[in-house]
A = this chain, B = another copy of it.
């Protein structure tokens, strides 16, 4: 590894949505902020995964020992095969399972459909001290719902503001949101779907509906653009992660989470007992 390899810019700066973010013109093979290839990236992922794990433990410790209310919630959005599941396994997999609250959101169940679209989301929010992970989220309700007009336009139009208000409430109550939109190219998606069809151990991940959705790629791009434009707020910004290179997207999400946890500026909680007195009690026990 040469001295010039690695992050040239913090991931959070390199990936944060700005006024110029353009889903249509995005290079999904790029590695924003990072100079270096796959082998450097994969080695770094292991090192930084351990850092992430330590930071999460501090968050957990503060909730346990001092009733700190803070939590971190990773929101993952992306088309099929964008690599959301791989992020869960290879990034979140570094963290103690005890400290992770994972939820995934598919097609709403009949019960979920009877409720407001945020009902199932609120039920799955991370507990204090936890690293929450949403594999898909309330943003489905302005993505697939918008693309297929599953509710009237006036209804999904109102959701952008509603989501911003909801997330503001979350942030106010101590949850740091890390919102990540992962983008693959249509060709890369095709290759990943082909792999699922080739391998017997991947058939279960394949859904014929995935091909149908490919026809709506332009509409999805539009919906993603609107989502980024309208729900990337100062309190809960979006990050755009090019995802054709799995090693990069995993490393990038790791860095985004590390950045969020570091900004909480956590220390190990001080003992709420007399350490020396307890040592004497223990010795005599």
Contacts and interface: CB of A to CB of B under 8 A. Distances in A.
A88 B95 CA distance: 11
A211 B97 contact: no
15 contacts: A85-B96, A88-B97, A89-B96, A89-B98, A98-B102, A100-B100, A193-B282, A197-B279, A201-B268, A203-B268, A203-B271, A206-B271, A211-B281, A211-B285, A214-B285
B102 A269 contact: no
A190 B285 contact: yes
Nearest to A66: B204
Interface of A: 61-62, 64-65, 85, 88-89, 92-93, 95-98, 100, 102, 104, 133, 135, 190, 193-194, 197, 200-201, 203-206, 208, 211, 214-215, 268-271, 273, 275, 278-279, 281-282, 285
A208 B273 contact: yes
Contact of A97 (B64, B93, B269): B93
A285 B211 CA distance: 7
Interface hub of A62, A89, A97, A275 (most chain B Cβ within 10 A): A97
Interface hub of A93, A95, A98 (most chain B Cβ within 10 A): A98
Nearest to A200: B268
Contacts of A96: 85, 88-89, 93
Given A92-B97, A104-B98, A282 B194 contact: yes
A126 to B, nearest CB: 13
Given A89-B97, A93-B93, 16 more contacts: A61-B204, A61-B205, A65-B203, A93-B96, A97-B97, A97-B102, A98-B102, A100-B100, A193-B282, A197-B275, A197-B278, A200-B268, A203-B269, A204-B269, A208-B273, A211-B285
A197 to B, nearest CB: 5
Q: Which 8 A-B pairs have the closest CB atoms?
A: A65-B204, A61-B204, A203-B271, A89-B96, A201-B268, A92-B97, A214-B285, A204-B269
Instruction: Say how many copies of this protein the assembly contains.
Output: 2
B273 A206 contact: yes
Contact of A204 (B95, B197, B206, B268): B268
A6 to B, nearest CB: 27
A204 B64 contact: yes
Contacts of A194: 279, 282
A190 B282 contact: yes
A7 to B, nearest CB: 25
Nearest to A274: B208
Nearest to A276: B197
B285 A215 contact: yes
Contacts of A200: 268
B133 A97 contact: yes
